[in-house]
């Protein structure tokens, strides 16, 4: 059995994860990387469908399922459901991201299982929540990015809407779920009572509209696509250097603006009536951008970054992924993590961003093979004997990896 060191932040918390793809696995990953015992329940005999992704997708499963244990069970069998019900009685948390009603139809109803285990925290993550007119509508990250308005803000002005390059809908829902579960566990520590949590990906994306929504709710003006800039800060956007490489400049303050004019050797800009204050710069931003874009063609992007940094103007190159993983700050913070399995399999993934000085996270573990931990979970958590486990394997109720 994989032993979690007692020093880890969530040692002693057992999570049963009925999830796939991104949303639920993201929530489970947060708990796994903080030291909880996360048991991923996968359908036997084939497991999470992301195990079968080829090409670039080969690392997909590793990205979301390291540090977990795999229990492969056929929930279409009464014996499989019975095993899982017994496991839930011994768990602190259940995370699931199935469509509403799927687990209930299999005989795993949150209300019934929480009644039997009042300390249980049950978190259901779905595209649109457990109620409402969209309850049964299929959801993918891009569907929710579109419905929640984020895509309408992304892309060049006058151009087509663009989805975010990372699955922010899925990941945000998983992170909100982890926050909610931690809050429920804290409450349970005080009251002894668990909780039923309903996380909607659409709700999470709507919440992330924050100030954009506030602008509309206050003024009634629908924000347009933002391009590489900001809809209220004139010099908060990307530019292209003379070598064709991109960088971003965030000259927000008057001090930043004056320094930018010095770096560009354009003192007249600082005195130009069109650009004297932030208000004028915003009102005349199109003209200002054209002047800046022309000026920035004089040097390579890296040269501008160095000059602007000398004047304490917030600036950064637009890194591609190969540059990100080689970035000295990313490397210093150990944000690229190597995983190795005892049988020689290896993978690299992005690391755990939560750094706690007094309670170190457990060492990263290679994601399990399908059913790799089935026998140990049934033995150590449920107390099944080897003969009982063998019988379940022969009947196809569980799969041992």
3-state helix, strand, coil in the chain (%, to 5): 45, 15, 45
Any catalytic annotation for residue 170?
Answer: yes
Rg, Å, the chain Cα set: 26
Choice among 37, 48, 141, 170 that is catalytic: 170
CA distance 364 to 66: 7
Q: Are 71 and 42 in contact (CB under 8 A)?
A: yes
User: Alpha carbon of 54 to those of 38, 59, 71, 165, 356: distances in Å?
Assistant: 25, 9, 23, 20, 35
Q: Are 361 and 7 in contact (CB under 8 A)?
A: no
Exposed/middle/buried for 271, CB within 10 Å: 0-12, 13-18, 19+? exposed
Which residues touch 266 (CB under 8 Å, ≥6 apart)? 291, 295
Task: Give the phi and the psi of residue 120 in degrees, each rounded to 5.
Answer: -70, 135
The 10 Å CB-count burial string (b at 16+, else e) for 21-32 is: bbbbbbbbbbbb
CA distance 296 to 74: 61
CA distance 167 to 127: 13
Q: Are 232 and 157 in contact (CB under 8 A)?
A: no
CA distance 161 to 149: 10
Q: Are 53 and 61 in contact (CB under 8 A)?
A: yes
Exposed/middle/buried for 235, CB within 10 Å: 0-12, 13-18, 19+? buried
The DSSP H or E segment spanning 399 is strand 398-399
User: Alpha carbon of 325 to those of 29, 74, 267: distances in Å?
Assistant: 20, 39, 39
CA distance 250 to 257: 10
- Give me the active site residues, please: 170
């Amino acid at each position: 059995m994989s032993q979690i060191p007692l020093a880890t932040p969530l040692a002693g918390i057992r999570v049963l994860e009925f999830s796939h793809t991104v949303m639920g696995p993201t929530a489970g990953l947060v708990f796994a990387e903080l030291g909880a015992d996360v048991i991923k329940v996968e359908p036997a005999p084939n497991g999470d469908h992301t195990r079968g992704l080829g090409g670039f997708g080969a690392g997909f499963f590793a990205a979301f399922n390291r540090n977990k244990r795999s229990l492969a069970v056929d929930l279409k069998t009464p014996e499989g459901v019975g095993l899982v019900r017994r496991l839930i009685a011994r768990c602190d948390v259940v995370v699931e991201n199935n469509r509403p009603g799927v687990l209930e139809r299999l005989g795993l109803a949150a209300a019934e299982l929480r009644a039997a285990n009042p300390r249980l925290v049950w978190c259901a993550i779905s595209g649109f929540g457990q109620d409402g007119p969209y309850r049964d509508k299929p959801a993918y990250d891009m569907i929710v990015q579109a419905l929640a308005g984020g895509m309408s803000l992304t892309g060049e002005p006058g151009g087509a809407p663009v989805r975010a390059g990372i699955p922010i809908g899925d990941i945000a829902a998983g992170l909100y779920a982890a926050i909610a579960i931690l809050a429920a566990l804290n409450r349970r520590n005080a009251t002894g009572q668990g909780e039923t949590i309903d996380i909607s990906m659409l709700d999470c994306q709507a919440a992330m509209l924050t100030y954009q929504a506030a602008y509309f709710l206050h003024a009634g003006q629908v924000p347009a696509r933002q391009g590489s800039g900001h809809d209220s800060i004139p010099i908060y956007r990307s530019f292209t250097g003379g070598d064709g490489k991109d960088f971003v400049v965030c000259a927000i303050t008057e001090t930043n603006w004056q320094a930018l004019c010095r770096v560009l050797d354009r003192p007249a800009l600082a005195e130009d009536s069109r650009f004297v204050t932030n208000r004028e710069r915003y009102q005349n931003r199109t003209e200002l951008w054209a002047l800046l874009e022309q000026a920035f063609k004089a040097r390579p992007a890296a040269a501008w970054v160095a000059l602007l940094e000398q004047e304490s103007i917030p600036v950064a190159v637009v890194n591609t992924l190969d540059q990100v993983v080689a970035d000295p700050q990313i490397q210093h913070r150990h944000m690229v993590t190597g995983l190795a399995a005892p049988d020689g399999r290896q993978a690299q993934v992005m690391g755990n961003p939560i750094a706690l000085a007094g309670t170190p996270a457990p060492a990263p573990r290679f994601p399990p093979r399908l059913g790799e931990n089935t026998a140990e979970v049934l033995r150590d958590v449920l107390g099944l004997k080897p003969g009982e486990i063998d019988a379940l394997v022969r009947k196809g109720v569980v799969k041992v990896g």
